[in-house]
Amino acid sequence: MKLHNISFGNIKRRKGKMLFLVLGLVIGISTIVTLLSITQSMTQNIEQRLNQFGANIVMVPKSENLSLNYGGIDVGGVSYKVREFDQEKLSNIRTIKNSKNLSIIAPKVLGPVIVKDKNVLLMGVLFEEELALKTWWNRTGGVFPQKDDEVILGSQAATLFGFKIGDTIRLSGKPFKVATILKSTGASEDDAIIADLSAAQKILGKEGKLSMVEISAFCQGCPISEMTLQIAEKFPNAKVTAMKQAVMSKMQSIDMFKSFSLGVSIIVILIGSLLVLVTMMGAVNERTREIGIFRAIGFRRGHVMQIILLEALLLGIIGGILGFGIGNLIAYGIIPIVIKDGVFAGINTNLGIISILMAVALSLLASLYPAFKASNMDPSEALRAL
Amino acid sequence: MTQVNHLIEIQGLKKTYQSGDTKVDAIKEMNFHIDDEEFITIMGQSGSGKSTLLSIMGALNHPTEGKVLVDSLDLYSLSTEQRADFRSEYIGFIFQSFQLISYLTVLENIKLPMAVTGQKKRIKNQMALEVIERVGLGAKAHRLPDQLSGGEQERVAVARAIVNKPPVILADEPTGNLDSKTANDIMMLLQSLNKDGHTIIVVTHNQDMAAYATRTVKVQDGVCIVDN
């Protein structure tokens, strides 16, 4: 016979009461787990969407002049000479410290070409990278270019020149087949002819040169600002910019939800603890006779405390495990409803350990006073109730 | 003249309970002693102070005045925890209405006082099996208390009181809830324990129980009126 036999026995006997106590912990822990899981899924979902948005780092040559362009409208009327990077140095990007976070590197060469006596923007790209980055490019028909003598036309450019899919377009005298025409994107590519990078470099006379590089980085927890600095270090003549605005505004919303979740969690935990405290107090009062017997047959105060705190520990572990499981189940069920295209982020083992520890800590804290009260019970007073 | 050392000495004992402005003298003045291996019944009507006396002798209830010496040790000079240890080693309690723990089996109830002793599991088991056989409940070791008759429950209570082999057994109305035959069986069991060397002190209001004792102390209104 050990003290823990008494604790186990009491839990088994007072199943209803103990269930009520565990319920308090389960409600508290499962609420926290659910809210944290939703927050985690929201973050993941937004990050995935941001990744799909395309580049979140843009590298352009440094310029001593300020841009006179806003929202696609050039107000300067002056064309500055565009400076370029050497293409051969592009591989240096992959040598930065956070290179594992780099997803797509899409280099471009830009320049004007004359088509049907009109100046038009020619954009040379690596189709594979560019199409992976610009997932929102939709074709009106045809296929995306498979060969380096095929081009994509922006919707405005196609309309202006009256080209159709399959037509041949001559750029600096060289024929290119219009493989597809893009649906309007509302961005610069609407006005452009998009060709293979090396072909465009030849047409523009910029062989081995790049005008800009768009980079997509997996930003699930990756430090975009730091990566920007790391790239800038490798390219001293480049201006490297993180497109943080979208990220910041989305993350602000998540932070607000996180704060809300924290507030709700604290309230629920307080209510749960109160429930544990009241139930434990009730259980201790019910056990006055029993505690009197324990004390009469030689149990020290510490032994009585041990019995009650051991019960609290066991119930805390049960409450923590159940709360974590139920919280995950609720999150699994609720995430697709509350987050559009939301997917349950998966079971977080660390959160599981924290949940159990938290439930145990709460259960022990809420049982401390009842245990203290029980251990200080005057045995003669308790036995008078016999 | 040599001084005789008694097992228990009650010296100038007084106990007053206070509830608000009302004071009740449960024990007005008591002085007596109990020797080793005596079998004493303390008799008296309800409210005479006999149960209070028992709880004071059992190191459970602080007297208002006076001393209780057990083997010359002043019980109430000890700390609360030292008195708990004293109860564990020296005293076996048999309570009114058995007072078994309902969710523990017969064997677990009997082993309960051993939960706070430092003995090895093997020794604990051996001691518990010895006493369970002694009270004739070996076949019912794994039953719960509510599956036993009143007499059997009382036997479990006796077994629990003696399992740690305490020198003194204090019993408060041990036969109060039993029929006369079962009550006699229990008193005979206590008598046999007394013959094995335990000092037995039984509080009762039943005159018939006095026949089993070697000495009777009668208590009335908080004082001893007869000691023979």
Give the DSSP per-residue string, A83-151: P-EEGGGGGGGGGSTTGGGEEEEEEEEEEEEEETTEEEEEEEE-HHHHHHH-TT--BSSS----STTEE
- Give chain A positions within 8 Å (CB) of B55: 380, 383
Look up the pTM and report it.
0.68
B129 in contact with chain A, both atoms CB, cutoff 8 A: no
Is residue B14's pLDDT more than 90? yes
Q: What is the pLDDT of residue A248?
A: 65
Q: How far apart are CA B157 and CA A190, in angstroms?
A: 95
Tell me the sheet residues that pair with A121.
A112, A192
Domain B8-227: CATH class, spelled out: alpha beta
Confirm if B41 and B47 have CB atoms less than 8 A apart: no
Classify strands A168-171 and B65-70 as parallel, antiparallel or unpaired.
unpaired
A75 in contact with chain B, both atoms CB, cutoff 8 A: no
CB contact under 8 A, B103 and A12: yes
CB contact under 8 A, B108 and A5: yes
Helix, strand or coil for residue B43? Answer: strand
Residues whose CB is less than 8 angstroms from the CB of residue A65 and which lie 6 or more positions away in sequence, other chains included: A80
Helix, strand or coil for residue A240? Answer: strand
The pLDDT tens digits of the residues spanning B199-224 come to 999 998 888 888 889 999 999 888 88
Q: In angstroms, what CA-CA distances link B17 with A143, A315, A383, B26, B53?
A: 101, 40, 15, 7, 13
Confirm if A290 and A364 have CB atoms less than 8 A apart: no
A283 in contact with chain B, both atoms CB, cutoff 8 A: no
Element (H, E) at A238: strand A238-242
B60 in contact with chain A, both atoms CB, cutoff 8 A: yes
Length of chain A: 386
Q: What is the pLDDT of residue A53?
A: 59
Element (H, E) at A224: helix A224-234
A346-385 residues touching B, CB cutoff 8 A: 379-380, 383
Element (H, E) at A379: helix A379-384
CB contact under 8 A, B116 and A380: no
Query: What would the mean pLDDT of B125-140 be, rounded to a whole number?
Result: 89
B49 in contact with chain A, both atoms CB, cutoff 8 A: no
Q: How far apart are CA A295 and CA B95, in angstroms?
A: 13
Query: What would the mean pLDDT of B29-35 be, rounded to a whole number?
Result: 91
B91-120 residues touching A, CB cutoff 8 A: 91, 93, 95-97, 99, 101-104, 108, 111-116
Burial class (CB in 10 A: 0-12, 13-18, 19+), B105: buried
**Considering CB atoms only, which of A9, A13, A298 is closest to B85?**
A298
A295 in contact with chain B, both atoms CB, cutoff 8 A: yes
Confirm if A268 and A275 have CB atoms less than 8 A apart: no
- Give chain A positions within 8 Å (CB) of B103: 9-10, 12-13
Helix, strand or coil for residue A50? Answer: helix
Task: Please name the residue of chain B whose CA is at the shortest distance from the CA of residue A301.
Answer: B81
Each residue's pLDDT, cut to its tens digit, for chain A (386 residues) gives 788 888 888 888 888 888 888 888 898 899 889 988 888 888 777 766 666 655 578 888 877 666 666 655 665 544 445 578 888 888 888 888 888 878 888 999 998 898 888 889 999 999 998 988 888 889 998 899 988 899 999 999 999 989 999 999 988 888 999 999 999 988 888 999 999 999 999 998 889 999 899 888 765 556 777 888 888 888 888 888 887 655 666 667 777 878 888 888 888 888 888 888 888 888 888 888 888 889 988 999 999 999 999 999 999 999 999 999 999 999 999 888 887 777 787 888 998 999 999 999 988 988 888 888 888 888 877 766 54
**Considering CB atoms only, which of A2, A379, A380 is closest to B115?**
A2
Q: How far apart are CA B108 and CA A139, in angstroms?
A: 81
Is residue B78's pLDDT more than 80? yes
**Considering CB atoms only, which of B81, B111, B124 is closest to A300?**
B81
CB contact under 8 A, B61 and A380: yes
**Considering CB atoms only, which of B96, B104, B113 is closest to A298?**
B113
Of B203, B205, B220, nearest to B30 by C-alpha is B220
CB contact under 8 A, A13 and B93: no
Shortest Cα–Cα distance, B129 to chain A (Å): 13
Query: What would the mean pLDDT of B162-166 be, rounded to a whole number?
Result: 91
Tell me the sheet residues that pair with B204.
B43
Q: How far apart are CA B110 and CA A124, in angstroms?
A: 91
A13-52 residues touching B, CB cutoff 8 A: 13
Helices A15-52, A3-13: crossing angle, 10 deg rounding: 90
CB contact under 8 A, A297 and B87: yes
- The ipTM assigned to this model is 0.89
**Considering CB atoms only, which of B61, B89, B99 is closest to A386?**
B99
Task: Please name the residue of chain A whose CA is at the shortest distance from the CA of residue B93.
Answer: A297
Query: What would the mean pLDDT of B97-103 be, rounded to a whole number?
Result: 87
Eight-state DSSP code of residue B140:
G
Give chain A's radius of gyration (CA, Å).
34
Residue B108: CA count within 13 A, CB half-sphere: 19
Cβ atoms < 10 Å from Cβ of B187: 26
CB contact under 8 A, B60 and A380: yes
Q: How far apart are CA A76 and CA A92, in angstroms?
A: 34
CB contact under 8 A, B116 and A300: yes
Length of chain B: 228
Task: Please name the residue of chain A whose CA is at the shortest distance from the CA of residue B173.
Answer: A386
Of A121, A224, A126, nearest to A171 by C-alpha is A121
Of A103, A101, A104, A108, nearest to A87 by C-alpha is A108
**How many angstroms separate the first and last alpha carbons of chain A?**
24
B124 in contact with chain A, both atoms CB, cutoff 8 A: yes
Eight-state DSSP code of residue A182:
B
- Give chain A positions within 8 Å (CB) of B164: 298
CB contact under 8 A, B81 and A380: no
Residue ranges per structural domain of chain B: 8-227
Classify strands A102-115 and A212-217 as parallel, antiparallel or unpaired.
antiparallel
B1 in contact with chain A, both atoms CB, cutoff 8 A: no
Q: Cα A338 from chain centroid?
A: 16
Angle at CA of residue A194, ends A191 and A198, nearest 5°: 145
CB contact under 8 A, B87 and A1: no
Residue to test with chain B: of A6, A291, A297, most B Cβ within 10 A: A297
Shortest Cα–Cα distance, B77 to chain A (Å): 17
Shortest Cα–Cα distance, B161 to chain A (Å): 8
Tell me the sheet residues that pair with A240.
A59
Give chain B's radius of gyration (CA, Å).
18
Q: How far apart are CA A316 and CA A21, in angstroms?
A: 9
Residue B59: CA count within 13 A, CB half-sphere: 32
Q: What percent of chain B has pLDDT above 90?
A: 47
**Considering CB atoms only, which of A6, A296, A302 is closest to B60?**
A296
